[in-house]
Amino acid sequence: MRALIVKTSSLGDVLHTFGLVEYLKAKGVKHVGWVVEKTAAPLVRAHPGIDTVIEIDSSSLRSLFPRPAFFGEFLCQKREIKKEKWDILFDLQANCKSGLVTFLARANKKVGYGKRRVAEWPNLLSTNMRLTPPDALSVRSEYLWFAQEYFRDHSPFLPSPVQLLCSEGQKESIDAECARWPHDRPVWIIAPGSRWKSKTCRFETLASLLTKSQDRFSPYYIFVAGTPEERLFCKRLEELFPQISHVLFKPDLVVLQHIMGRAGVVVSMDSLALHLAATTNTPTFGLFGPSSAARYGPEGSRHGIYQGACPFHEQFERRCARLRSCSTAPCLHDADPSEIFESLSAWYRR
């Protein structure tokens, strides 16, 4: 059997789908392909269970439209999508863009979301097996559920950690970074940034949490920054812990995954870094505010979470309606560092 996954973006959602690859292989699928945006393709290509990666570049198409060059680029991407034949396709993006990919792809069975849960209704026109997953599932379990429903198998399945494939140059970068680590302290990777400011802590909150953790557990800190703004934030934290911390700026994601796999703990906001760490064996502690840890947090006993409370009494199952507009983000910005530390400490002892 040959299966094609259509999950084009974002990077976090791509990581959430990794468990599906292991499940398909366990069910005897010999060849797994993936349609993904060009920006996320290196991450998918590094997965050892993926046999074919089909890149699309929707930003390129948008920039070219309506010039004549648009049609040449579209036909080129169309040929790549139609090149191979698949037995089963899973459209997990559920929007118009993925619907076009699903429509063009040559597959016998095209599985996607039903009317109640599809992101954009035109997607329904491209699938021939439409399913509505239970609302209570985590995002990882939801993607997995589609394949389990197809195979009529709902036995418990917890995906194993995966080690991404890396080049010789990437191996050298990994070894060079790990050579800096002390041998007499546990190494904690701290990822304080997120795409959404409402998902982050104040500097004072994080500084207090890390000071308490230092007093109790004496870790060595590696602060991971993905943007210049995050780098300045991490530099301020580094100044609080001289000689026992350093900043890692914009590491290659495959390199970062291997580094995380060698660390003792990863402490992160609800972000790409947390979801990347969850693909390894390393325990994680995630800080959640305007999104649900039950929905998006890493699964398994080695992972801990802190869920901030909303003083506006907003109730949500997935994400707070104020996620993109809340300027104060009190669920995390005003969180008590002592409360977060007690939660982290109890998890760490377990």
pLDDT (tens digit, 9 = 90+) per residue, 94-147? 999 999 999 999 999 999 999 999 999 999 999 999 999 999 999 999 999 999
User: Could you give the percent of the chain with pLDDT greater than 70?
Assistant: 100
Nearest-CA neighbor of 292 among 325, 316, 267, 322? 316
pTM here?
0.94
- Give the domains, in start order, of the chain with CATH numbers: 2-151 (3.40.50.2000), 169-349 (3.40.50.2000)
Pick 282 or 73 by higher pLDDT.
Answer: 282
pLDDT (tens digit, 9 = 90+) per residue, 177-203? 999 999 999 999 999 999 999 999 999
Rg (CA), the chain: 21
The token pair that represents 26 in the structure block:
């366990």
Q: Which amino acid, one-letter code, is at 316?
A: F
| Environment class of 168 (CB within 10 Å of its CB; exposed 0-12, middle 13-18, buried 19+) | exposed
Say yes or no to pLDDT of 319 above 80.
Answer: yes
